[in-house]
Amino acid sequence: MAELEGEVQELMALAEAADQVPESTPLKIPAELARRKDRLMKLALARQEIEARFKERQKDRQAEYEAKVAAREDQRAQGHRVKGRDPQPPPNQPDDKAQYNFTDPESRIMKAGSGAHFEQNERMLAMPIFV
């Protein structure tokens, strides 16, 4: 987003310079400026959606973490030796690789076949499974 904002500033400077010079470049600065501003807006919406999804998952992860910690504390209180490492708290922010699909927001990247590769698929949570 910072890169796009820098490009917007650069295009604004080019636009001001282009107003002084007769039109000789094929670059349509107003169109490019509008396209980048639109892209910035879409990226901001995507960031909001990613953060909203993260907060939904965070609630479950935090509850799971607290349950694990409580179970370990109960074992310690009973005098049992607790094996393994203590559970790690969930992260405070979304992963840098979190993604958002602008074309089909309900679609997700899912493991396919044997799990050796990934495909872009619709969410299949609501579909009935027939045996």
pLDDT (tens digit per residue) in 72-101: 999 999 999 999 999 999 999 888 888 887
Rounded (5°) CA angle 23-40-32: 15
pLDDT confidence tier of residue 131, bands split at 50, 70 and 90: very low
State yes or no: pLDDT of 54 exceeds 90.
yes
pLDDT at 90: 92
> Taking the mean position of all CA atoms in its chain, how far away is CA 87?
24
Compute the distance between CA of residue 30 and CA of residue 36 in angstroms, rounded to an integer.
Answer: 10
Compute the distance between CA of residue 84 and CA of residue 73 in angstroms, rounded to an integer.
Answer: 13
Task: Please answer whether residues 36 and 72 qualify as being in contact, where contact means their C-beta atoms are separated by less than 8 angstroms.
Answer: no
Largest Cα–Cα distance in the chain?
85
pLDDT at 30: 83
pLDDT at 23: 58
Contacts of residues 63-66 at CB distance under 8 Å and 24 or more positions apart, as own/partner, are: 65/89, 65/90
At 9-48, the pLDDT tens digits run 888 888 887 777 665 556 777 888 899 999 999 999 989 9
- If one compares 2 and 22, the residue with the highest pLDDT of the two is 2
Query: pTM (2 decimals)?
Result: 0.57
10 Å Cβ neighbour count for 25? 9
Both tokens assigned to 126 = 């609501």
Compute the distance between CA of residue 92 and CA of residue 64 in angstroms, rounded to an integer.
Answer: 15
Task: Please answer whether residues 48 and 105 qualify as being in contact, where contact means their C-beta atoms are separated by less than 8 angstroms.
Answer: no
3-class secondary structure, 109: strand
